[in-house]
Amino acid sequence: MVALVLAVAVTALTAHTWVNARYWLRRPADGPVGVNETVAVLLPLRDEADRVTPCLRALLAQQGVSDLRIVVLDDGSTDGTAGVVRAVVGDDPRVTLHTGVTPPPGWLGKPYACHQLAGHAGPDATVYAFVDADVVLTPYAVAAAVTELRAARATLLSAYPRILVRTVGDRLVQPLLQWLWLTFLPLRAMERSPRPSLAAAGGQFLLVDRAGYERAGGHAAVADRVLEDIELARAVKRAGGRIALADGSRLAACRMYETWPQLRDGYTKSLWATFGHPGAAATVVAALLLLYTAPPLLAVTALAAGSPPAAGLALTGYAVGVAGRVVAARATGGRAWPDALAHPGSVVVLGWLTLRSYHLRKRRRLSWRGRPVS
């Protein structure tokens, strides 16, 4: 009976993943497109000397935007990031490089860097495109994303890039980003609903209408938020704006973390903020473990007990869960096989990272790139 209930529940969730991926997920065109607006690409950098070059070269190669400005902020780097920027951009008049200042009390580092960048964008920019240093854009990415922002009649558009995975840790954890929001987030309702709680966004490649950004209070409205991207989307909704998610896998690629310690610490610093109250985190993690980790365990137990029908139902639940991962991967440019077969293990790792996040936050030991985050 338990195996049947789990199989039905997982099937319903996988069906929702498919509907989101097939019908509701926006996909900006990746071909030539033109934009007659002033667009400011805003690039915050902190100790990115070893990986900012591909990002900068891709920004310099952007096409289709009649007036493109690239504003770079060196946010207290100690590894020569500013020198790398100067060497790559040369005397390109589209680029300005600014030196950031230490965040004042009440501000976290990333929101304050973005706040400073917006202040340097110039009075003529109508769209801000926030880009992280680990993102590499295709030549028409900015133009295509701005076009989609306007087509969606949105204030904020989050175009999730294709996540590049290489290590075992990458392959276990990173695909969960897109899988989670495709499986559990009602995309169409999120776009239509004015409720701030029904919002999602990723800061890696995020576009926002300048007027709407200012109405929402900009990054000053999310000054102390670890998940400043999601909180900015909520602030936009509170100010009466609309938000939209898009598959940006044909526009951008991102290698978020180079090593397992970086990945582990990157998720650890923010998972507590994702769930909020520890009770909510415990409920969500328990549900995920029950739905996606219990079926293969039940199958083994049922086979050992001599109950092939129960084992078959449990294996069905496992297989449908794997199918959900495959659907999400194919919809977002991710790697489907054989990684999806390890989906139960991915959920276990997510649970451990969540526990670690709350544990370190309780001990006030959460930090990122030398700055405290809680």
Sheet containing 35-45: order of strands: 95-99, 65-74, 35-45, 127-131, 205-209, 156-163, 243-254, 135-137
* pLDDT over 80 at 371, yes or no: no
pLDDT reported for residue 15: 97
For range 148-168, the mean pLDDT: 95
Report pLDDT digits (tens) over 322-360.
999 999 999 999 999 899 999 999 999 999 999 999 999
Q: Which residues pair with 206 in a beta bridge?
A: 130, 158
- C-alpha to C-alpha distances, 130 to 89, 138, 219, 338, nearest whole angstrom: 18, 15, 12, 33
Return the residue matching tokens 């526009």: 251
* pLDDT over 80 at 124, yes or no: yes
Return the residue matching tokens 């084992």: 311
Return the residue matching tokens 């977002």: 332
pLDDT reported for residue 374: 62
Helix axes 176-184, 2-19, angle to 10 degrees: 100
Cα–Cα distance measured from residue 344 to residue 356, given in angstroms and rounded to the nearest whole number: 19
More confident position, 29 or 97: 97
Is residue 143 helix, strand or coil? helix
Residue 359 amino acid letter: H
- C-alpha to C-alpha distances, 205 to 64, 109, 261, 272, 370, nearest whole angstrom: 17, 18, 24, 23, 24
237 CB-near residues (< 8 Å, 6+ apart): 194, 195, 196, 199, 243
pLDDT reported for residue 106: 93
Q: How far does Cα 327 stand from its chain's mean position?
A: 18
Closest-CA residue to 177 (of 114, 256, 290, 280) = 256
User: Which two structure tokens, joined as six digits, stand for 234?
Assistant: 């909520």
More confident position, 49 or 311: 49
Model pTM?
0.93
Cα–Cα distance measured from residue 22 to residue 43, given in angstroms and rounded to the nearest whole number: 32
- Percent of the chain having pLDDT more than 70? 99
User: Which two structure tokens, joined as six digits, stand for 292?
Assistant: 């996606």
- Percent of the chain having pLDDT more than 90? 80
For range 206-219, the mean pLDDT: 97
Q: How far does Cα 344 stand from its chain's mean position?
A: 21
More confident position, 303 or 70: 70
Report pLDDT digits (tens) over 62-90.
999 999 999 999 999 999 999 999 999 99
Cα–Cα distance measured from residue 290 to residue 317, given in angstroms and rounded to the nearest whole number: 11
Cα–Cα distance measured from residue 138 to residue 285, given in angstroms and rounded to the nearest whole number: 36
Closest-CA residue to 191 (of 127, 241, 121) = 241
Average model confidence (pLDDT) for the chain? 93
User: Which two structure tokens, joined as six digits, stand for 73?
Assistant: 């902020």
Return the residue matching tokens 């951009």: 89
Closest-CA residue to 110 (of 163, 60, 73, 62) = 73
Give me the DSSP letters along 35-104: EEEEEEEEEEESS-TTTHHHHHHHHHT--SEEEEEEEEEE-S-SSSHHHHHHHHHTT-TTEEEEE--PPP
User: Which two structure tokens, joined as six digits, stand for 21?
Assistant: 């991926």
